[in-house]
Amino acid sequence: MAVVRTLFLDRDGVINRNRGRYVLTWDNFEFLPGVLTALRQLREARVQVAVVTNQSPVGRGLVRREELDILHARMKASVVAAGGEISGVFYCPHHPSDGCDCRKPLPGLLKQAASTLGIDLGTAHLIGDHGRDISAARAAGVPATLVLTGHGLATFLKGDAPPSQLAVDLPHAVDDLLQPVAGERRRAAYWTGAARATVRQSLGLLTRVRLPADRATDRG
């Protein structure tokens, strides 16, 4: 695995918990477990972090840019207080019907972040929870990890935009990137029966939920 110098992160479902359809205020913003520690580990490892997120509520008239900027400022301040750092937050404010070139699954946000921060996409990686995150990374020539938080489980079960890697959540994904050998072992273990059960348990899933390979086995 290539050395990762920059990590692109989706926001909702990766950094923070989804609250209803949109997270519009700081009162509704909640970091997912282990995220602040993972961001501190990235800073200590000198991995730059940039957030790339679709925020259509701006285009829908549900929140003003200024309000969203305040939320992001508080998010960044909380990360700094915990020992981490976010170099920039890049978001698409447009309505999905606007036909912009920055809304994921297009790679515009990643290219904008790369231009602004001087990022070498050849040493970048993306972590997201949706097929459009993975597609945007692929379009930018960047490998991607799908996490199973947020929309990640549904994305995985549908088989949308297969990622380069899979992880239970952001902390596990960061561990895999910072410790490649251990990460390779963990990724291989995802496909064993015991590890698949662990994935289910960690997400609080019912045992009747079957992963794709289970269905293939059933056909046999």
Alpha carbon 15 to chain centroid distance? 7
Q: Are the beta carbons of 102 and 112 closer than 8 angstroms?
A: yes
CA distance 55 to 92: 6
Candidates 58, 57, 38; CA nearest to 49 is 38
CA distance 175 to 37: 11
Asked if residue 51 belongs to a domain, the reply is: yes
Number of domains in the chain: 1
Q: What is the CATH number of the domain that holds 135?
A: 3.40.50.1000
pLDDT given for residue 215 in this prediction? 35
Sign of dihedral through CA atoms 173, 177, 182, 188?
A: positive
Asked if residue 76 belongs to a domain, the reply is: yes
Catalytic residues: 10, 12
| Angle at alpha carbon of residue 101, lines to 71 and 86, rounded to 5° | 35
Asked if residue 18 belongs to a domain, the reply is: yes
Q: Are the beta carbons of 112 and 100 closer than 8 angstroms?
A: no
CA distance 109 to 135: 12
Prediction pTM value: 0.83
Asked if residue 123 belongs to a domain, the reply is: yes
Domain that holds residue 57: 6-189
Asked if residue 70 belongs to a domain, the reply is: yes
Asked if residue 80 belongs to a domain, the reply is: yes
Kindly list the strands in the beta sheet with 48-54, ordered across the sheet, starting from the edge strand earlier in the chain.
88-92, 48-54, 6-9, 124-128, 144-147, 165-167
Q: Are the beta carbons of 172 and 198 closer than 8 angstroms?
A: no
Bridge partner residues of 214 (DSSP): none
Tokens of 72: 């992001």
* pLDDT tens track, the chain, 220 positions: 578 999 999 999 999 999 878 999 999 999 999 999 999 999 999 999 999 999 999 999 999 999 999 999 999 999 999 999 999 999 999 999 999 999 999 999 999 999 999 999 999 999 999 999 999 999 999 999 999 999 999 999 888 778 889 999 999 999 999 986 455 555 555 545 544 555 555 555 433 344 444 333 333 3
Asked if residue 108 belongs to a domain, the reply is: yes
pLDDT given for residue 48 in this prediction? 98
Asked if residue 143 belongs to a domain, the reply is: yes
pLDDT given for residue 204 in this prediction? 54
